[in-house]
Amino acid sequence: MPRRAATMVLLLTAVIVLADYIVTEDAAIWLIYLLPIGLCAWYFNRWVTLSLSIAIAILCTILSPFPCPHYNSISGPKVHVILPHVCFKYITGALYHLIFYSIWGIVIGLLREQRESIARLGWESLTDELTGLYNRRYLQAKLKEEKARADRYKRPLSILMADLDHFKVYNDTNGHQKGDELLAKIGALLRRRVREIDVVCRYGGEEFLIVLPETDGPQAELVADRLRAAVADAKLGSPSSMTISIGIATYPKDAPSPELAIMEADSALYKAKSAGRNRVCCAHAGEKPQSM
């Protein structure tokens, strides 16, 4: 986008400069220069915008006393010459244009920064600060969207509830900073191991929730087992490897709503914890032991 925007700014400026050279002096072409300056301020920083403003102010000054010659049958071409007593006029005119264009660029730049700030705040309100994953606020909105899609196309929607095994012991032994680093690493690992359409959220504490659209129970179980093995194989949580337990529930098979499916997945997670941890358990089914 910056390269395309730079091309547009340069082409637009060139067209306006050509028009400024051709038309008569009394035409307010200098106002049209606000377009490329505004475009530049929207996509680039203030120093680039200031440089363009200076260049355009100089061009306006140069083109002002030397318009394209106009011909008539009686007197021939008109030629404007800079006289010493009008030099001050052109210098002040250049400064006027520079100040005007610079203020315009600053205003557009501030609007862009405000827009980016609002977008950043909106993004931060939907993500977890520690892991960068989506938070529960985003999850609530996404579940409504995925439920509507699942109902429309009669497709299953599976929920994985994952929890780190013995995380409290690790946190107490190694400190909260190491615990936070471990959570961030596991969150990134989970995000890398699922599809783009899947939604990985930090549900709270050491719990992660994963939404798997168009995925039934057996498929979700394969995904969960792959994630469990990936965490165990990553050898995180030195000196001993951190493991996770995962509970699975599928809408509408296991629950009449995605929200209740989360409760069923949480119950399945509790069963996996009770059965020895580092394993996967499905709602309304026995746990699946994992080879250690």
Asked whether residue 72 falls in the same domain as residue 144, the answer is no
Chain centre distance of CA 76: 61
Asked whether residue 234 falls in the same domain as residue 177, the answer is yes
Residue 32 lies in a domain: yes
Residue spans of alpha helices (H) in the chain: 2-22, 34-43, 46-63, 87-124, 136-153, 167-174, 176-192, 217-233, 258-274
Residue 130 lies in a domain: no
Domain termination residue (choose one: 124, 157, 177): 124
Asked whether residue 116 falls in the same domain as residue 148, the answer is no
Domain termination residue (choose one: 62, 92, 124): 124
Q: If you write DSSP's letter for every residue of 62-115 in order, what string do you get?
A: HHTTSPPP---TTT--------GGGHHHHHHHHHHHHHHHHHHHHHHHHHHHHH
Asked whether residue 145 falls in the same domain as residue 272, the answer is yes
Asked whether residue 109 falls in the same domain as residue 235, the answer is no
Residue 166's nearest CA partner among 226, 206, 225 is 206
Asked whether residue 278 falls in the same domain as residue 165, the answer is yes
Residue 219's nearest CA partner among 189, 198, 241, 245 is 198
Is the pLDDT confidence value at 67 over 70? no
The predicted pLDDT at position 70 comes to 43
Note if 181 is an active site residue: no
Select the more confidently predicted residue: 81 or 276: 276
Q: What is the pTM of this model?
A: 0.64
Asked whether residue 27 falls in the same domain as residue 57, the answer is yes
The predicted pLDDT at position 60 comes to 75
Select the more confidently predicted residue: 87 or 145: 145
Catalytic residue among 206, 221, 264, 287: 206
Residues 268-280 pLDDT 10s: 999 999 999 999 9
Q: Which of 47-61, 72-86, 247-261 has the highest mean pLDDT?
A: 247-261
The predicted pLDDT at position 3 comes to 81
Distance CA 133, CA 245 (A): 19
207-213 sheet: strands from edge to edge = 199-204, 207-213, 157-164, 244-251, 280-282, 287-288
As a whole number, the mean pLDDT across the chain is 83
Residues 99-112 pLDDT 10s: 888 888 888 888 88
| Residue range(s) defining the domain that contains residue 52 | 2-124
Asked whether residue 105 falls in the same domain as residue 230, the answer is no
Instruction: Give the total number of structural domains in the chain.
Output: 2
Q: For the CA atoms of the chain, what is the radius of gyration?
A: 32
Select the more confidently predicted residue: 283 or 63: 283
The pLDDT-based confidence of 285 (bands split at 50, 70, 90) is low
Asked whether residue 282 falls in the same domain as residue 174, the answer is yes
Asked whether residue 171 falls in the same domain as residue 105, the answer is no
Residues 14-26 pLDDT 10s: 888 888 777 755 5
Domain termination residue (choose one: 98, 124, 150): 124
Residue 131 lies in a domain: no
The mean pLDDT value for 31-43 works out to 86
Residues whose CB falls within 8 Å of the CB of residue 196, separated by 6 or more in sequence, listed in order:
none
Whether the Cβ atoms of residue 123 and residue 178 lie closer than 8 Å to each other: no
